[in-house]
Amino acid sequence: MENLDPKKVLADLTKNANKYCGAVNPICLDDYVAFGGYEASSKVVNNEVDVISILKDANLVARKKLNELCADRWSGAETVVCETEDPMATLDLKVQTEAPHVIVEAMIIFMHVNNAKKGVIVVNDELAYNRLNKAVTDAKNAGLNDKDIIVSKVSIDGLKENAQLLANVVAIVQNSYKPAPAKGLKGVAIGGKVKNPGVYEIEDGTTYRKLIEEIAGGATGKVKAIKVGAPYGEYLSSDILDEKINFMSLMMNGMVRGTALIVVLDESTDMAKEISDYLGFLLNVSCGKCFPCKVGTKRMDEMVKEVVKGNATKENYNMIKSIAVNMNIGTLCPIGQKGAVPVLTALENFRDDFIKE
Ligand code: SF4
C-alpha cells in the first residue's frame, strides 16, 4: 500500500483546527506530533513568526468581544484563560475531548503572545478534563511545553477566549487559514430532525436549506422551525431556509450565533411542548437572584404546561408574552435576558400552537 503522508492527508480533509478531531488518537502525543502538532507553537515560541500580524491578517474576531480583533485584544495579560461558559458549546467540547493537544498548543501560543505567567483551561466535562490534564502532562514531559498551564473545573479571572477560537489560532499560524466571520469556513453543529446530525464546517454564506438538505442529509420531515444559537437562540420559521448563514446576516436579523448550534424541528413538533421542555432547562439554570427570572420562569412554565394540556387561550398567550418581555428587559444577567428570547420568538412565529380557540 502507498505510504501516506499524514500531514497531507489532514491538509486534504480540512483547513481549520477541527481537522484533528477524529483523525488523531486524542490521548496519544506521538499521533498529534506526526500530524504536525506543536509545529505552530514551536515557531511562535522561537519567534520565527509574527503572530500578531498573522492574526491581524486573518481578521480573527475575539469571541467575547465581537467587535474586537484578537490582534488588538491580545496585548499582555498575566493570566490567560481558555473557558467556555455555555454548557451547550458542542464545538468547544468536541475539540477539548477529541483533540486536547490542540488546546494545549493554543494555550502555549496564547500565553506567549500575552507574555502571561499562567494559563488556565477551564472545563466542566469529566472526559475533557481528564484528557486535557493528560495532554498538558505529556507535552511537558516531552519538552514541548515549558509554560505553567493548569486544567481547572473552576473559573478564574484573566483574559478569556473559548476553545474553538484558540484551536483556530493554531490552524491560522500553521497554514494561514482564515476563519469566519471574515471569510472561509465556519464550524457549526446541527441536530434535531435531520438524518445526519453532527459538526460540520460550512462555507461562510451557506444557506440553511443547503446545510439541512445537502450537508446534514435532509430533514426527517417537512421543516417547521429552526432554532439558531441554542439554547438561548431564536425559534425561526421555515421562511428562513434560503437565508445565508453568516455572521453579518445573523447580526442584522438581531440574532446571536451563540454556540453555532442549529436545531431543526419538523412538522410533528408542538411548539408549546418544545417551550415547556426549554423552560424546564431554564428553571434549572436560573439562580433565583432576581424576581423577574425566578418567578417569571416558574409562572411561564406553569402557563405553558396549561397550553400543552389544551388550555390554549389568548389570555394565557398574552400573559406568557408579558412575563417574557419583563424578563427580557428586567433581569440582572444574560440568562434571564436571553433566556426569554426562545419563548418570545416561539410565541411570535408559532402563534397557532399557543392559541387554539
Ligand atoms: S437573570 Fe441571572 S441573576 Fe437573575 S435570577 Fe436569572 S440567572 Fe439569576
Number of residues that make up the chain: 357
Q: Is the CB of 340 under 6 A from ligand 1?
A: no
Report how far ligand 1's centroid is from the alpha carbon of 341 (Å).
14
Query: Is 181 contained in some domain?
Result: no
Report the relative pairing of strands 149-152 and 159-161 from DSSP bridges. Answer: unpaired
Do 31 and 145 lie in one domain? The reply is yes
Do 199 and 96 lie in one domain? The reply is no
Do 211 and 332 lie in one domain? The reply is no
Q: At what angle do helices 163-175 and 100-114 cross, to 10 degrees?
A: 80
Range of the domain at 224: 188-266
Report how far ligand 1's centroid is from the alpha carbon of 173 (Å).
40
Do 143 and 120 lie in one domain? The reply is yes
Residue nearest to atom 2 of ligand 1 (CA): 333
Among 246, 266, 286, which residue terminates a domain?
A: 266
Do 135 and 36 lie in one domain? The reply is yes
d(CA 181, CA 190): 18
Do 31 and 164 lie in one domain? The reply is yes
The confidence score (pLDDT) of residue 6 equals 46
- CATH number of the domain within which 304 lies: 1.20.1440.230
d(CA 128, CA 283): 26
Q: Is the CB of 295 under 6 A from ligand 1?
A: no
Residue nearest to atom 4 of ligand 1 (CA): 290
- The dihedrals phi and psi of 295, each to the nearest 5 degrees, come to -80, -35
Query: Is 180 contained in some domain?
Result: no
Q: Which of 64, 55, 37, 17 is nearest to 334 (CA)?
A: 64
The confidence score (pLDDT) of residue 194 equals 94
Do 236 and 314 lie in one domain? The reply is no
Query: Is 95 contained in some domain?
Result: yes
Over the stretch 195-246, which tens digit does the pLDDT of each residue have? 998 878 777 778 999 999 998 999 999 999 999 876 788 899 999 899 887 6
In this structure, what C-alpha cell is assigned to residue 96?
Answer: 477539548
Among 121, 145, 175, which residue terminates a domain?
A: 175
Query: Is 144 contained in some domain?
Result: yes
Q: Is the CB of 333 under 6 A from ligand 1?
A: yes
The confidence score (pLDDT) of residue 254 equals 46
Query: Is 182 contained in some domain?
Result: no
Query: Is 249 contained in some domain?
Result: yes
Q: Is the CB of 336 under 6 A from ligand 1?
A: yes
Task: Using CA atoms of 94, 97, 102, 104 in order, give the dihedral in degrees to the nearest 10.
Answer: 130
Q: Is the CB of 290 under 6 A from ligand 1?
A: yes
Amino acid at 337: Q
Among 120, 142, 175, which residue terminates a domain?
A: 175
Report how far ligand 1's centroid is from the alpha carbon of 289 (Å).
5
Query: Is 287 contained in some domain?
Result: yes
Residue nearest to atom 7 of ligand 1 (CA): 286
Do 104 and 150 lie in one domain? The reply is yes
How many domains does the structure of the chain reveal?
3
Do 137 and 213 lie in one domain? The reply is no
Report the relative pairing of strands 223-228 and 234-237 from DSSP bridges. Answer: antiparallel
Over the stretch 144-182, which tens digit does the pLDDT of each residue have? 998 999 999 988 889 888 887 888 888 888 875 444 444
Do 85 and 129 lie in one domain? The reply is yes
Do 134 and 215 lie in one domain? The reply is no
pLDDT in tens, the chain (357 residues): 345 454 444 444 455 667 788 778 889 999 999 888 999 999 999 988 888 888 888 777 766 555 678 888 888 889 999 987 665 566 677 888 889 999 999 999 999 999 999 999 999 889 999 999 999 999 999 999 989 999 999 888 898 888 878 888 888 888 754 444 444 456 778 889 999 988 787 777 789 999 999 989 999 999 999 998 767 888 999 998 998 876 555 544 444 555 678 899 999 999 999 999 999 999 998 998 998 999 999 999 999 999 999 988 999 999 999 999 999 988 988 888 889 999 999 999 999 999 986
The confidence score (pLDDT) of residue 173 equals 86
Q: CA-CA distances (angstroms) from residue 79 to 56, 60, 92, 136?
A: 22, 21, 20, 17
Q: Is the CB of 329 under 6 A from ligand 1?
A: no
Q: Is the CB of 287 under 6 A from ligand 1?
A: yes
Query: Is 133 contained in some domain?
Result: yes
Do 122 and 231 lie in one domain? The reply is no
- CATH number of the domain within which 101 lies: 3.40.50.11540
CB 18 within 8 A of CB 201: yes
